[in-house]
Amino acid sequence: MVWSICCTLRGWLLVTLEGRYPLADAPFVGMTYGILFEKAGTLDLPQGYYYAHVPALGLTTHGEGIEEARAAAADLLKLWLSEKRAAGEAIDLPAETFFSTIEISESALQSA
């Protein structure tokens, strides 16, 4: 389904080939958000826990193991999107998520 969200003088609308809907009444069209998993440090949570970050929305949750963290992220996304929709608020569209690492040498830390 091709769709977009736009703002009008009367509020936010979901526009599809099938019609225009106030955002709160719009049919669900499905969204795919990237999730970044990060092993939790020993000071934050017990060993074996992972954070699940949704960078496009600035959301973070956690769970024991990656699968539980993923399930917690799915629950959080559903709740967050449902609340936004019920309030008639704009829903940020999914963005591409990229991940990279940067290695910092011990000598660089000592000279900083």
d(CA 7, CA 25): 15
pLDDT of residue 1: 44
CATH 3.30.160 domain span(s) along the chain = 32-96
pLDDT score for 3: 44
Q: Tens digits of per-residue pLDDT, 75-103?
A: 999 999 889 888 888 777 777 777 788 88
The edge-to-edge listing of strands for the beta sheet with 19-22 is 3-8, 11-16, 19-22
Q: Given this structure, which CATH class describes domain 32-96? A: alpha beta
Q: Convert the pLDDT of each residue in 61-70 to its tens digit.
A: 999 999 999 9
pTM check: above 0.85: no
Can you tell me which residue has the tokens 């998520």? 97
